[in-house]
Amino acid sequence: MNAVAQAVATASTAPLQVSGLTHRYDSKVVLDHVDLALQPGSVLGLIGRNGAGKSTLIRAMLGLLEPQAGQAFVFGEPSLKLSDAAKERLGYVPQQPDALAWLTAAQMFDYLSRFYPRWDHRFVKDTMQRWKIEADKVMAKLSPGERQRVDLARALAPQPELLVLDEPASALDPVARRELLREIALRAGEAGATVLFSTHIVSDLERVASDIAFLHDGRLLLHCPVDETKERYARLWLPANVAAAAPASPLGKRRHEDGSLSVIVECDANGAWPEAAHLPGARVDTLGLEDLFVEIAE
């Protein structure tokens, strides 16, 4: 299959797919040829430091921003020209929701529910009660955490097949965050929804994400299943006298003051680490995602 046919085939099966996305603000490159496709039913955690380009990527994926180069598809349709039918199947929560802030939550739900045939009134009612949010308060007067939860309920109520959350947990306390993660996990597992959520809090992602993507300086450094990431990458530490034998690594290398060296290494298909791991004094440390993220992003 040639590259174009392949891209078309992927776009028709993947709920969300982008290729070659590139974008600049003034002279700063925010997205640098990003290719990414989400498999149906997967939960992708998009991780990156503040300013890594996560929100720009999400906005370009959904057609809320026109990238300078590259293409984005939602359910196989070009994101910039989404049909109403595709929009009905998509739920999106921006980082700082502020739409319709002059309405009360109850008014907003009532208004929006008319546009969505699958709107789940019961879910909204239960959720608002469980989260103890006053539905008849003007949304502009809610706290940031309350406002974020109202918007999550808003996005989940139409039972979307694709759910995109930009830093959904940023204003939530630990209990609310855990509850949100549970909701994401069960939606994906049972309703078969596909979820993309961005975060800079690694522990959020480790629980529920099936896949992880590292975005750093506008480039996608890594995209693979969470379990595999933990099993495939490790930190190799080499003492100063053998540091010169360090294998090349695209993912990060650090020289320490005493001349020793840490480098992120990948195991081969048989689970074996590079040869340098057997040098005298060498040590291989398995890494949690947070450590791996710090090593790569520094």
List beta partners, residue 163: 91, 195
| Closer Cβ to other proteins, 155 or 202, answer by number | 202
Q: Does 156 bind other proteins (CB under 8 A)?
A: no
Q: Does 126 bind other proteins (CB under 8 A)?
A: no
The one among 172, 202, 276, 282 contacting other proteins by CB under 8 A: 202
Say which residues have a Cβ less than 8 Å from residue 146's Cβ, sequence separation at least 6: 131, 133
Q: Return d(Cα 14, Cα 274) in angstroms, integer.
A: 34
Q: Return d(Cα 289, Cα 211) in angstroms, integer.
A: 12
Q: Does 150 bind other proteins (CB under 8 A)?
A: no
Q: Does 185 bind other proteins (CB under 8 A)?
A: yes
First to last CA, the chain: 39
Q: Does 290 bind other proteins (CB under 8 A)?
A: yes
Q: Return d(Cα 196, Cα 61) in angstroms, integer.
A: 11
Q: Does 289 bind other proteins (CB under 8 A)?
A: yes
| Closer Cβ to other proteins, 35 or 290, answer by number | 290
Q: Does 207 bind other proteins (CB under 8 A)?
A: yes
The one among 66, 98, 227, 275 contacting other proteins by CB under 8 A: 227
- Residue type for position 290: E
Q: Does 35 bind other proteins (CB under 8 A)?
A: no
Residue in this structure with the two tokens 């949304």, named with its chain if needed: 139
Q: Does 189 bind other proteins (CB under 8 A)?
A: yes
Residues of span 64-83 touching other proteins by CB under 8 A: none
Q: Does 165 bind other proteins (CB under 8 A)?
A: no
Provide the minimum distance between the beta carbon of 195 and other proteins in the complex, in angstroms, as a whole number.
10
Whole-Å CA distances, 24 to 204, 228, 250? 29, 32, 24
Rounded to 5 degrees, what angle do the CA atoms 30, 35, 37 make?
125
Provide the minimum distance between the beta carbon of 205 and other proteins in the complex, in angstroms, as a whole number.
9
The one among 19, 39, 210, 249 contacting other proteins by CB under 8 A: 210
Sole window of 77-85, 101-109, 155-163, 206-214 interacting with other proteins (rule: CB under 8 A): 206-214
Q: Does 135 bind other proteins (CB under 8 A)?
A: no
Could you tell me where the beta strands, DSSP code E, fall in 48-189?
69-74, 77-78, 90-93, 162-166
Q: Does 294 bind other proteins (CB under 8 A)?
A: no
Provide the minimum distance between the beta carbon of 73 and other proteins in the complex, in angstroms, as a whole number.
24
Q: Does 206 bind other proteins (CB under 8 A)?
A: yes
Q: Does 173 bind other proteins (CB under 8 A)?
A: no
Q: Does 203 bind other proteins (CB under 8 A)?
A: yes
Q: Does 113 bind other proteins (CB under 8 A)?
A: no
Q: Return d(Cα 173, Cα 146) in angstroms, integer.
A: 10
Q: How many helices (H) and strands (E) does the chain have?
A: 10, 14
| Closer Cβ to other proteins, 215 or 226, answer by number | 226
Q: Where does residue 136 rank: exposed (0-12), middle (13-18), buried (19+ CB within 10 A)?
A: exposed
Q: Where does residue 206 rank: exposed (0-12), middle (13-18), buried (19+ CB within 10 A)?
A: middle
- Angle between helix axes 121-130 and 105-113 (nearest 10 degrees) is 160
Q: What residues line the site for other proteins (CB under 8 A)?
A: 41, 43, 178-179, 181-182, 185-186, 188-190, 202-203, 206-210, 226-227, 230-231, 286-291
